[in-house]
Amino acid sequence: MVYGSYKPPFKLSRKRFSIEVKKLGEDAWIYKRSCESSGETVKQIAGSSVEIILNPVEPVNLPSEITSFLLIELENELVLAPKENAKVFLTFPIEIGIILKQKESYRVLDIFSLLPQKYTLYGSVRTGKVCRYWKSCVHFKTPKTNPLEEGVLELDIKNPTHEWVSISRAVFSAWGMKIFYSKNLVSMRAVMKIINKDVAETSFVEEPLEKGMKKSIEIYMARKIILPFATKFVMEEGL
């Protein structure tokens, strides 16, 4: 288990990355993280009673804060009948956050990923949204994943309309993401409500996919950002 809370000094070493926090002096530490996909990061920390938390975070932070939207393209188009609901499982990319905690105060120290990042445009050049891009198969039961690389998104699709609807992608606002983790699984739960054959609204549910999962610290909480942003997203540029 990599995710969780650590008291310095400590060292974590895995096949594709390593993290080490060493003592420099009284209440002073040096943090070193190396990763084959994103190089090495070195930072110094000063503070007493510091905890270091590793958990999956919203996958829209790398290589820089380009967007707050995630677009998941479906490997195969899903066709949903009128007045029907469908529960499917998609995967999403993992970014790992290193967060400092002192009492109730949080600070993002580092974010890295074992996966490359790709971005795309949802909608027109003029009015569209830049999104982190990810492609996923559609599963009808929870797929097995490497929790350091991929999470599982349970998507409850609701079609209250009188039309057949074709779905080839889903776009989500990272401001609403609620990520949970356990030893073998990282997950989110979301809802897509069909408005018509071209428009849908997506939102997240603050419930774990399995019992006993722990909730990740949200990046905006660690950065002390007050939420003026929409946690839901209306897909107006097609499904």
Specify the higher pLDDT residue, 125 or 152: 152
Q: Please give the average per-residue pLDDT across 151-159, as a whole number.
A: 98
Looking at residue 230, what is its pLDDT?
73
How big is the CA angle at 153 (ends 41 and 112), to the nearest 5 degrees?
A: 5
Strand-strand pairing, 95-102 and 105-112: antiparallel
User: Tokens standing for 188?
Assistant: 């989110």
**CA dihedral of 43, 60, 178, 205, whole degrees rounded to 10:** 180
Q: Containing domain of residue 62, as a range?
A: 4-235
Q: Please give the average per-residue pLDDT across 166-178, as a whole number.
A: 96
Looking at residue 231, what is its pLDDT?
84
Looking at residue 104, what is its pLDDT?
84
User: Tokens standing for 229?
Assistant: 């942003």
Confidence category of residue 36, pLDDT binned at 50, 70, 90? confident
Looking at residue 35, what is its pLDDT?
92
Confidence category of residue 229, pLDDT binned at 50, 70, 90? low
Looking at residue 69, what is its pLDDT?
95
Confidence category of residue 145, pLDDT binned at 50, 70, 90? very high
Looking at residue 1, what is its pLDDT?
78
Q: pLDDT by residue (tens digit) across 89-132?
A: 999 999 999 999 998 889 999 999 999 999 999 999 988 999 99
| Phi-psi domain of 169 (left: phi exceeds 0; alpha: psi -120 through 50; beta: other) | beta
Specify the higher pLDDT residue, 225 or 190: 190
Backbone angles phi, psi at 112, to 5 degrees: -145, 170
Is pLDDT above 70 for 58? Answer: yes
Q: How many domains does the chain have?
A: 1
Is pLDDT above 70 for 223? Answer: no
